[in-house]
Structure formats: structure tokens, C-alpha cells
Amino acid sequence: MANNTPSKKLNKELRLLDVFAIATGTTLSGGLFLLPGLAAQQAGSAVVIAYAIAVLPLIPAMLSKIELATAMPRAGGVYYFLDRTMGPMVGTIGGVGTWLSLMLKVAFALIGMGAYINIFLPSFPIIPVAVVIALLLGLLNVFGSKLGSKFQVFLVSALLVLLTLFIGDGFFHIDYSRFYDIFEVESSTLFGTAGLVYISYIGISKVISLSEEIKDPEKNIPRGVFLGFGITFLIYISATAIMVGVVPMEELKGALTPAALAADKFAGQIGVVLISAAALMSFVSVANAGVMSASRYPLAMSRDHLMPPFFRNLAKSGTPAAAIVVTVGFIVFSLIFLDPLKIAKLASAFQLLIFAFISIAVIVMRESKITSYDPGYKSPFYPYMQIFGVISSLILIFFMGITPILFSTGLIIAGIVWYNYYAKKRVSRNGAVYHIFERLGRERYQGLERELRGILKEKGLREKDPFDEVVLQSKVMDLPYHSQFEQIAYDASKIIAGNTSYSVDEIFKQFMDGTKIGATPVTHGVALPHLHVTGLSYPMMVLVRSREGITITFNNPLNDVVETQTITAVFFLVSPEGNPTQHLRMLAQIAGRVDEETFETEWDSASSEFELKQSLLHHDHWAQVHIQPKTNTEELIGVEIKSMNLPANCLVAIINRGDSSIIPRGSTKLFVDDKLTIIGDPKGIAQINKKYPQSIMDDNLN
């Protein structure tokens, strides 16, 4: 059986601005520049209300996607979430269907440019131009997501400037009497129109398929998507209000260039030119973001052996070149041989179905009780938000009619056929749904928990996780002799038991039981026994080093075989019961540090307890300040800790005074020759090192 673990990761090159630009750029397109005229045919001036109503069913799917993406930031987005929650068959259906839908949407956007180009060049051949743009966007994205995102930022920035001018000028020309019948439309017509314009918003979360390439995804995904969502919603409501307010309804109804029609009314030909330029930028922006997003689906599915292996090949730039080439190839094929204007609209029903599945996926992950499911953002009002998302999506699908439903059914059948004839024999995993029904059978897939723990290691700690403090305040056992793990575990249990209501024997038994059943990771000559302890108020650690070796017998969960190894380090981590995911993040941080090439050398060469602790910490997260007269640190003599004026997010974790270590309080006074270990974020630590450079030299000399 092939290994499901991908050999190469995509480069993390996308920042908050990139996330915002991609989310915004995939949303502001045909829904703003084409649809208002068609929607006005149905709802008249109430088209503005229809755009406000249409956003409601999107919210549960958007919130659910963000939760899943901050827990599992992996390429493929929707595919990956569905595969890991409901199994590879549902994942295949979602991946294949969404990939095809996205490619058709890109072709639709490129064709959609024709209406605005025809304002100035009525007989202009749009298909050849659309093909050339598709090929250029594909080439741009092969050279790196950073290059593609820079182009996206440029397009969206220019688009927002032009739309700001359009809205800012247009508001002063609104004839409010044109809204006299805004509340007279029938509810069925209003909701039907909302269903029509719903597709205007669905691109807002497409950036999530790029989550593996986003820096600090737990912060940048929700911030970027929410910012994009808020701005695009305001633009849609404001722009449609202007179109209704400045264009006579008989002219607006059925217009294919409603924005240009409105601009002509209050800004003349220059307004038409500028808004047409904005429209063209928006369509190219959607196409660019669509190529970026769509190409990550075959990459992710290939990693999981649901698609041929060549899709997972990365170019020197770190982009999925083969996936991009095939994606662009299908887009070009659609432009030449199909009618994407019609087919892309049909694909919207499938997108609604996927939105319903995504809401279900959050319910599955929450109810599976997998402790390593650790989203940085959690959807509010669970599970009612998700239930509303499922019901509202299905209602809109029903109102879209039989043809879109049949098209979506065809995509589902295509996914099932592909899974059964190609993928089924290549995979051996199930989704998180089997964790819910664990008591009913043997279908629980342990690999998912290992995979999520691997993701925890990649994501790292959160801002409020007290890992550095716990390490610096830990107890150290530095042994000059060979020992057995059982004896070390018993000695560590004595230290830990003093901080709990449990006896030494009870703590010791839990450590030994965990080692026997495979709950103690052993890697790179290090063992990581860990527990959740009731009544413990704060996490604590015991660090053990033995240069002569420690013999440990443990159950290896990867092959379910009892092994005996000689190791040189043991890190006992115990945490309160109330925050299991923080415990796992701290455990993952230790495992990640142990995996680094520098760890073994620093651990073996440490000459003191303090240096042993430092070897577990990243150097840019701590600084040591040695207080001495006639240096920059002289100003700290006699000062209380609370008066030190440290940078934000920095604190004094421990004071070495003579042969003793002091855990400081705000009222602790500093004296000559004190050595302060300060921890914090890299920016704050850099400020401290700059302010007290003499301390760095002293530390190096020591």
C-alpha cells in the first residue's frame, strides 16, 4: 500500500493581503457587472434586498470552511475536508465535482468579459483573447503562487479604487423615488431572485483551497476571508442601489452591462471607460484566482492516491505545475468546444450541495471528539449554524429547477465512477465519521489522528500557549549513569505528584500504562510520556537526560509491535484536563524541536540545567539579560519586575540568582548579577537584544 503522506509541501508564500485579494477577487465579477440587470427583470428595485438575502445561506458554509481550514490547512480545501470527515468516496465526489465546477467558472469569467469589450468593439473575437489570457495566467501561476498572488493584489487594488470612485460619485446622483416599489415584490419572486444572485458570493471562500500555502493560517484565513466578505457585501449592496437609483428600470431590466449603463448616467463616457476597465480587471482576477484554487484539487487528490501520481509533482518554484497545466488545458477546451456561459450556471447547484456537505463535515469533526482536531477559529452557534447551512442550501437547490439538479447528479455519478474504477483499490482509510460510530464496529481510522497531530506540529503554538514558561520552570534530572525507564518514571512521578491530589503510584501507573499501549511517542532517541491530570492548575514538565542511556520498552503504534530502545532524553509533560488541544500543541512543539537537526547537538553539549531547558526553545523566542554595573543593564538594579517596561508579549520567566532559580512576581526586585530569562515573540525579543547588547556578549562568553 502506498504511503499517504505527501513527500513535498507547498511553499508558504501567501500573506493576509494575498488572502484578502484572492477572496475579494473571486467574488467581485459577474455578480456585480452582469447579474444585476437580469435580477432586476424579476425583482425590480427589490434587487438590492435580493442581494442582501442571498448572502445569508453563504454564512454557515463560510464559517464552517474557515473552521475546517484552520484545523486542517491543506491544499484542496473542500476535497480534503470531505475526505477526512466522511471518507474518500465523498471526498472524491467533492474533489472531482468542485474541480470541474471551478474550471467552468473560470471559463465563464473569461467569456463574461465579452459583454464589456463589445461596448467598444462590437465584433471583437472574444474566444481567442480568452484562450490567450487563460494560457498566460497558467504560465504565471506555474512560476509561483507568490507571483500569481502579487498579480492578484494588483488587480484587486485597482478594482477597489475604481469601484470606490463609482460608488462615491454615484451616491450623489441617486433618485430615491425609483425605490417606491421596493417592498411590493412578492416573497416568492424575491427569494427566487436571491437564488439567482447567490452565485455572486460563493467565490469568497475559494482561497481556502490554498490554505497550505498561507502563512499563519489560523490568523490570516479568518481575517482575510471576513475582510473580503465584509467589503464585497458592502460593494454589492451599494453598487446595486446606485444602478437602481440612477438607471430607469425599463433600461436596467435585462441589461448585460448594468454597471456601465449606470456610470454613463452620472459620469458620461469617462465613467463607462473606467467601470468597463474595472469589469475586465474583475473577470481576469476571478480567472487568476480560479486557476490558483482549482489546480490544488488534483494535487491534493493525487497525494491521497485518488488521482494519478504526476499531479503531485512540484515545479522548482514549489507550485503544482502538472495540475496547473491540466487545469488550464481543460479551461481552454471549455472555451473552444463548450458553452461555459450555460454550463457554469448549472454547476452552481453542485456548489450548494458541497456547501451542505461542508456544514455536515463540521458536525462530524466536532462529534468525533478527536482531541487533535484543533481549529484556530470555531464557528459560532454550533450546531444550529450548520443545520441552517444544510437546510438553506437544499432549499435553494430545489428552487433552481430540475436541470441544475440533473447536472449536479451527473457530477456525483462521475465522482463515484472514478472512485470505484481508479481510487478504491489505492486507499485504505476512512473519515472521522467512523470515530462517531466507533462502538458499532472496527472502522475507526487511526491514521486520521496521526495526520491531525502532524498538522498540529506544522501549525505550532498559539500566542497564549505557555510552552516557554513551562520549559523554563520545569524540573531537571541530569543522570550520570545508565538507567531504566521504569525508575526514571517513578522519580518523575514523585515530582509531579507533589502538585496534584494523586499519589506517586497513581501517576507512575498512568505513565507506564501509556507506554504499554503505545501512547508514549519515542523518536530520535527521545521519549515523550504525557498525561492529563485532574486538579492540576498549570502544565508542568520534568526533563531527564542520561548520556549513558535509558532503556525503554514500549508499544510502537505504527506497527503495533513491542520494541526496546536505548534513548538519551525523556520529557514528561502533564497538563490540566480542561484544555486537551493545548496539551497536544505543546507535545507537538517538543516533537517538532526534537526533529530539528540542531537539537541533538545542543542537548548533548548543554553544561547546565538552564542550557538543557534552552535547547528545547527556539533562540528567537528568548533572551538572557545579565544585570551588571556600568552596562546598559545598570538601569534595572533595584527595579521591580512590573516596572521594567518590557515590549508587548514579553515577560520575565525566571531569574537565576547565585545558585538558585526564582520564579518572579511583579513585585520581585532585581539585583546586581541577576540573570533574567525573558521570553516572548521574536519581534519583542529582538528589541530586548538591541537594548541590552552587552548581555548577549556576556551570555556568549559564559
Chain segment 203-259, per-residue pLDDT in tens: 787 788 788 888 888 889 999 999 999 999 999 999 999 999 999 999 999 888 899
Q: Is the pLDDT of residue 437 over 70?
A: no
Residue tagged 499517504 (cell numbers): 4
- Cell numbers representing residue 218 in the block: 489560523
CA distance linking residue 659 with residue 486, whole number of Å:
30
CA distances from 326 to 96, 168, 310, 410, 558 (A): 13, 42, 11, 21, 36
Lowest pLDDT segment from 388-402, 444-458, 532-546, 587-601: 444-458
Q: Is 206 within 8 Å of 26 (Cβ atoms)?
A: yes
- What's the whole-number mean pLDDT along residues 689-701? 59
Q: pLDDT, tens digit, for every residue of 642-654?
A: 888 888 888 888 8
Residues of the chain with pLDDT > 70, as a percent, come to 91
Q: pLDDT, tens digit, for every residue of 99-115?
A: 888 888 888 888 877 77
698 falls in which pLDDT band (50, 70, 90)? very low
Q: Is 514 within 8 Å of 520 (Cβ atoms)?
A: yes
Q: Which residues does 48 contact at the CB level (< 8 Å), separation at least 6? A: 179, 182, 237, 240, 241, 244
Residues of the chain with pLDDT > 90, as a percent, come to 27
Q: Is 515 within 8 Å of 552 (Cβ atoms)?
A: yes
**What is the per-residue pLDDT for 46?**
92
Q: pLDDT, tens digit, for every residue of 385-420?
A: 999 999 988 887 777 778 878 888 888 898 899 999
Cα dihedral 578/582/583/584 (nearest 10): 130
Q: Is the pLDDT of residue 2 over 80?
A: no
Q: Cβ–Cβ contacts within 10 Å for residue 11, how many?
A: 16
Give the phi and the psi of residue 245 in degrees, each rounded to 5.
-80, -20
49 falls in which pLDDT band (50, 70, 90)? very high
Q: Of residues 547 and 146, which shows the higher confidence score?
A: 547
Q: Is 588 within 8 Å of 456 (Cβ atoms)?
A: yes
**What is the per-residue pLDDT for 319?**
82
As a whole number of angstroms, the longest Cα–Cα distance in the chain is 92
CA distance linking residue 300 with residue 312, whole number of Å:
7
Among 235, 223, 225, smallest CA distance to 58 is for 225
Residue tagged 474518500 (cell numbers): 88
Q: Is the pLDDT of residue 700 over 50?
A: no
**What is the per-residue pLDDT for 250?**
92
Q: Is 24 within 8 Å of 232 (Cβ atoms)?
A: yes
Q: pLDDT, tens digit, for every residue of 61-94?
A: 999 999 999 988 887 788 888 888 888 888 899 8
Encode 461-491: b = buried (16+ Cβ within 10 Å), e = exposed.
beeebbbbbbbbbbeebebeeebebeebbbb
∠ Cα 96 56 217 (to 5°): 60
Q: Is 518 within 8 Å of 556 (Cβ atoms)?
A: yes
**What is the per-residue pLDDT for 448?**
64
**What is the per-residue pLDDT for 440?**
41
Q: Is 75 within 8 Å of 299 (Cβ atoms)?
A: yes
Domains of the chain: 16-422 (1.20.1740.10), 461-614 (3.40.930.10), 619-701 (3.30.70.1450)
Lowest pLDDT segment from 47-61, 181-195, 240-254: 181-195
341 falls in which pLDDT band (50, 70, 90)? low
Q: pLDDT, tens digit, for every residue of 119-128?
A: 888 877 888 8
**What is the per-residue pLDDT for 9?**
65
Q: What is the mean pLDDT of the chain?
A: 84
**What is the per-residue pLDDT for 98?**
85
CA distance linking residue 105 with residue 203, whole number of Å:
10
Residue tagged 516596572 (cell numbers): 643
Q: Is 27 within 8 Å of 204 (Cβ atoms)?
A: yes
Residue tagged 527556539 (cell numbers): 618
- What's the whole-number mean pLDDT along residues 183-211? 82
Q: pLDDT, tens digit, for every residue of 357-374?
A: 999 999 988 888 887 888
Q: Is the pLDDT of residue 701 over 70?
A: no
- Cell numbers representing residue 138 in the block: 497558467
Q: Is 675 within 8 Å of 636 (Cβ atoms)?
A: no
Q: Is the pLDDT of residue 444 over 60?
A: no
Q: pLDDT, tens digit, for every residue of 263-280?
A: 999 999 999 999 999 988
**3-class DSSP state of 353:** helix
Q: pLDDT, tens digit, for every residue of 453-502?
A: 777 777 778 878 888 888 888 899 999 999 999 999 999 999 998 888 88
Task: Tally DSSP H helices, then E strands, for the chain.
Answer: 28, 11
Q: Is the pLDDT of residue 344 over 50?
A: yes
Q: Which residues does 607 contact at the CB level (< 8 Å), separation at least 6? A: none
Angle between helix axes 16-25 and 145-170 (nearest 10 degrees) is 60
CA distance linking residue 157 with residue 162, whole number of Å:
9
Q: Is the pLDDT of residue 438 over 50?
A: no
Lowest pLDDT segment from 7-16, 437-446, 545-554: 437-446
Q: Is the pLDDT of residue 441 over 50?
A: no
Cα atoms in the 13 Å half-sphere on the side-chain side of 571: 27
CA distance linking residue 567 with residue 219, whole number of Å:
38
**Distance from the first to the final alpha carbon of the chain:** 53
What is the total residue count of the chain? 702
**What is the per-residue pLDDT for 160?**
92
Rounded to two decimals, what is the model's pTM?
A: 0.77
Q: Is 357 within 8 Å of 90 (Cβ atoms)?
A: yes
- What's the whole-number mean pLDDT along residues 594-620? 85
Q: Got the DSSP string for 560-616?
A: TEEEEEEEEEEEEEEEETT-HHHHHHHHHHHHHHHHSHHHHHHHHH--SHHHHHHTT
